[in-house]
Amino acid sequence: MPAKRDTANRILDVAERLVQVRGFNAFSYADVAKDVGVRKASLHHHFPTKGILGAALIERYHRRFFEALAAIDADDADAGDRLEAYAGLYGAVLRRKRMCLCGMLATDAATLPKAMRDRIAGFFDENETWLAGVLEAGRRRGELRFDGPATPLAEVIVSSLEGAMLVSRASGSARHFDHVAKRLLDSVRPREGRRAPRR
């Protein structure tokens, strides 16, 4: 069993990298088998179809991402620092010359099985829910300042970070991403020396 789990994890590691660099439709089982050093039959044994492999990739990425969010929550930092740490998760992926797995998969959404599309949508929905909670709690404590409901702003933040990753990838530099992330964070922080009123 441990050897089987190790092979499955190696397959997932390689497939995740290929998705993040090329996209889901731009690699084959032959590509994965070559990088892992196994026969294609072994891949089909662990993941009978590419759709099943894709769903497993999303589940693992989702789990790891939300473990990272739980670690951010555990720090008990103020809301501005938590938002900065959140943007940092995306920035760290970009600096590894990769893209957000679910963001890359979303570009191929029209050709993906429904089970994968549903998981991708769930990933973004949960991101927005987490962000909305951070935003609203930060506004109540006077750590953040913004108008209107938190949920639409959370949607803007997720979409902006994903889009900034794409533009930065095209330019080959993380500078655009860093600029967008800073502007987003600055837009909800109280002005220097002025704390937002508690609500």
pLDDT, tens digit, for every residue of 64-114? Answer: 999 999 999 998 899 999 999 999 999 999 999 999 999 999 999 999 999
Q: Say how far apart CA 68 and CA 149 lie, in whole Å.
A: 25
CA proximity to 33, closest of 18, 55, 21: 18
Give the pLDDT confidence score for residue 191 in this predicted structure. 77
* Chain-centre distance for alpha carbon 119: 13
Record the pTM.
0.90
Q: What kind and span of H or E run contains 192?
A: none
Residue tagged 């990753």 (tokens): 165
Buried b / exposed e along 73-112 (16+ C-beta atoms within 10 A) = eeeeebbbebbbbbbeebbebbeeebbbbbbbbbebeeeb
196 — phi, psi (to 5°)? -65, 145
- Residue 176: is its pLDDT beyond 70? yes
- Residue 157: is its pLDDT beyond 90? yes
- Residue 198: is its pLDDT beyond 60? no
List pLDDT tens digits, range 34-63: 999 999 999 999 999 999 999 999 999 999
Average pLDDT, the chain: 93
